[in-house]
Amino acid sequence: MGFLNVCPHRGAKIIREDVGKGEILRCPYHGWTFNMEGKFLGAPMQRGIYQGVDTSSFGMFPIRCETYKGLVFCTIDSNATLDEFLGDMKFFIDIVAGRSEGLVFSSPQRWIVRVNWKTIVDNFIGDSWHFLTAHGWLGEVGLGIQDLKLTSITGVIRVKGGHGVLFTGPSADDYPDIPRPLFYPLWWPNLVEKAKVKLTQREFDVWKKYGTYEMLGHVFPNMAFGNVAYTIDSEPPVPILTFRLWRPISTFETEIWTWLAFDKDEPENLKKKAIDTFLRLFGAAGSVEHDDVAMWESMTENSSKLSSLNLKLKYYGGMNQSPTQFEGPGELYYGGNNEGNTISFFKEYLNYLEGEELDDM
């Protein structure tokens, strides 16, 4: 169980830091204190103010939290179980968070963009098409993956519940010589051996076969992870693991949280390479991510100014494609850019807004 960061007295934020340890929690407004179980302990001059008042209901507001592979998920829905909510998405979370002895996270980078959060989901859950254009300069100046056409080969996996996965790069059947998964055999072969033991055979096989340059997962509604291999110099692509959260601030603003994650015992040279490569390309100051944010901001600006025109945007990519045979859970659409993951996310979101089931896609 966890607690909302809302003081039961007037609703102030009780905790102002992201990390830390303590014995008690104290609201900075009027000084109400709570123990770590959320129980109200007391307040300044309480005896006079609350004379004869039963304070037993003054505890912090509880919220249900569960963990999966070290990741913490919280909900205000008292009926939902995390197991059901994640469903088949657990298969892909296992691949990034269950393949070693555990993960170590950096402090998050946090920055605010003038973007509606769902626009970011649209990109992460199934769009690699934009690599060729929005990030086209990368190949021209010799950064990133030299042959961007390879990264624009997409496998989109539709996972029930509005989740989705995106693999980029050719599969092992087409380009067997690329070190898979994600160039780990070059940088850290022991992780691959460890993963063989920790993952199920199916999980390992999917990671190895499709994990070429990118494996992005999007957990409904606003969490994502990416296991990617990129380079900023003449060395082979470096495997990087990142986790994301899109925190809506308003209709037109989102705070992006970005963590770098490392498998326990990750070699220092690989960590350093991953940090350097990641910071150059991704995150608040990353040149690749700036390409994306510029597009997203323009989309949000247009939709905010032109919403009254009720324009219909074209989500037809891959609509006549059939799923290919796939070893893992979900439906795999491989080879082209399939925009169905975005549609399935939006349907699930609408479902929650309307509180009723929509027809299956």
Footprint of Fe ion (CB under 5 A)? 292
Which CB sits closer to ligand FES, 31 or 236?
A: 31
Torsion over CA: 95, 323, 159, 344 (sign): positive
Distance between CA 122 and CA 110 in Å, rounded?
20
Q: Which does 292 bind (CB under 5 to 8 A by kind): ligand FES, Fe ion, none?
A: Fe ion
Q: What's the one-letter identity of residue 187? A: W
Q: Which of 346, 339, 337 has its CA nearest to residue 155? A: 337
Query: Is the bond leading into 181 cis (omega within 30 degrees of zero)?
Result: yes
The option from ligand FES, Fe ion, none interacting with 32 (CB < 5 to 8 A, set by class) reads: ligand FES
Q: Binding to ligand FES (CB under 6 A): which residues in 10-69?
A: 10, 12, 27, 29-32
Compute the least distance from the CB of residue 358 to Fe ion, in Å: 29
Q: Treating both helix axes as pointing N-terminal to C-terminal, what angle do 268-281 and 287-306 enclose, rounded to 10 degrees?
A: 40
**Of 32 and 213, CB closest to ligand FES:** 32
**Please, which residue, 266 or 292, has the CB nearer to Fe ion?**
292
Q: State which of residues 3, 7, 93, 155 lies at the interface with ligand FES (CB under 6 A).
A: 7
Distance separating alpha carbons of residues 170 and 184, to the nearest angstrom: 17
The span of 9-17, 116-124, 133-141, 162-170 binding ligand FES (CB under 6 A) equals 9-17
Q: Determine the interface stretch with ligand FES among 5-13, 215-223, 339-347, 352-360 (rule: CB under 6 A).
A: 5-13
Residue 109 φ/ψ region, left for φ over 0, alpha for ψ in the -120 to 50 degree band, beta for the rest: beta
Neighbours of 353 (CB within 10 A): 8
Q: State the binding partner of 352 from ligand FES, Fe ion, none, CB within 5 to 8 A by kind.
A: none
194 binds, among Fe ion, ligand FES, none (CB under 5 to 8 A by kind): none
352 binds ligand FES (CB under 6 A): no
Between residues 14 and 166, which has the closer beta carbon with respect to Fe ion? 166
Nearest-angstrom CA–CA distance, 93 and 129: 24
CB of 115 to ligand FES, least distance (A): 32
**In the complex, what is the shortest distance from the CB of residue 58 to ligand FES, in angstroms, rounded to a whole number?**
10
Q: How far is the CB of 22 from ligand FES (least distance, A)?
A: 16
Give the Å distances, CA to CA, from 80 to 63, 65, 76, 77, 302. 12, 11, 9, 6, 36
User: Which DSSP string corresponds to 45-73?
Assistant: THHHHTTT---TT-SPPEEEEEEETTEEE
Tell me how far, at minimum, the Cβ of 31 lies from ligand FES, in Å.
6
| Least distance (Å) between residue 30 CB and ligand FES | 3
For ligand FES, the closer of residues 62 and 336 by Cβ is 62
Peptide bond into 221 cis (omega under 30): yes
Write the CB contacts of 123 (distance below 8 Å, at least 6 apart in sequence): 130, 292, 296
Minimal distance in Å, beta carbon 359 to Fe ion? 32
Residue 147 CA to residue 136 CA, distance in Å, equals 10
Nearer CB in complex with ligand FES: 42/248: 42
Binding-site ranges for ligand FES (CB under 6 A): 7, 9-10, 12, 27, 29-32
